[in-house]
Structure 1
């Protein structure tokens, strides 16, 4: 099953994703997309490391996510990607064209993915419209990507205060 888990910062989305991955019977591959840019981000990454089971294979994929999903498709493992918004940021900081191309490639890779896939992303569209152009590009494109992925996956969950609200599919 392919699923998308959305939520705000510290909403519990990563915990929900990890619980779902752990509940599968297949080996878990955790794809981390973050880059360490400062001490605070380093601490966030360390917290995620501490909360993951030690037996999970971890791949650090800050940019080439679509290619990695294509490689892992059909391999009999559960793939958990945390998170898409950090991945998008990495691409946008190169150029908007790079981000647009990456979004198209990711959508294609998810559409073709065979197996259990759990995608985690921040819901960034519920606040005010940002004043800066780069921030607006990020917010708009994140929303577009979420819509495209939600149309493809079998299950969409919104995490609010640690509570999983099923938007599409579910049990």
Structure 2
């Protein structure tokens, strides 16, 4: 089963993703894609760690999300990936072939044989059009990624103001 959780910045999408994770079979694993590149984000990550259930294993990834998910699938447990937008940032700044990494990720989704897989991503299409061309390109790429994942997901949720609405 694959669930996609979308929402804006600070919408509560990560909290809802954790809720879905803890409803699923154990072992529970959080795949963290965000890297702390500034003090404010480092504090946010620390707060998440302090508030998280100690039974949730954490695995940090950079660009090889497909490899991480492939290694976790045989456990049959629940896996939460938080978040796909940071993974996309890593691909954009990586020397690895981002297109190949995306293809491997989608192949893994189509063949997913693990337990519950919860994917969290930012829905960027609700805000104003970005002035910068690079940001617009990122928004288009992330929007396309979200659409492709929604097409193979069992359930899709939109979280706004801490409230989750099931879309699919």
Specify the TM-score bucket, using the shorter chain as the normaliser.
over 0.9
> Gaps spanning 5+ residues in structure 1: where?
none
Shift of 1:78: 0.5
Contact 2:25 2:76 in 1 (8 A): no
Could you state the TM-score of these two structures normalised by the residue count of structure 2?
Answer: 0.93
Contact 1:74 1:113 in 2 (8 A): no
Report the secondary structure of 1:74's partner residue: helix
Shift of 1:76: 1.2
2:79 maps to 79
1:41 maps to 41
Shift of 1:83: 0.4
2:24 maps to 24
Q: For 1:9-158, what aligned pairs fall within 5 Å after superposition?
A: 9-94=9-94, 98-114=97-113, 115-158=115-158
Contact 1:92 1:98 in 2 (8 A): no
Contact 1:66 1:106 in 2 (8 A): yes
Cα RMSD between the aligned structures?
1.5
Total equivalences in the alignment: 167
Provide the C-alpha distance between the structure 2 equivalents of 1:65 and 1:32, rounded to a whole number of angstroms.
Answer: 10
Provide the C-alpha distance between the structure 1 equivalents of 2:102 and 2:158, rounded to a whole number of angstroms.
Answer: 21
Question: After the TM superposition, which parts of structure 1 deviate over 6 Å for at least 4 consecutive aligned residues?
Answer: none
Contact 2:25 2:116 in 1 (8 A): no
Shift of 1:47: 1.7
> Gaps spanning 5+ residues in structure 2: where?
none
Provide the C-alpha distance between the structure 1 equivalents of 2:132 and 2:83, rounded to a whole number of angstroms.
Answer: 23
Shift of 1:105: 2.0
Shift of 1:23: 1.4
Provide the C-alpha distance between the structure 1 equivalents of 2:140 and 2:48, rounded to a whole number of angstroms.
Answer: 27
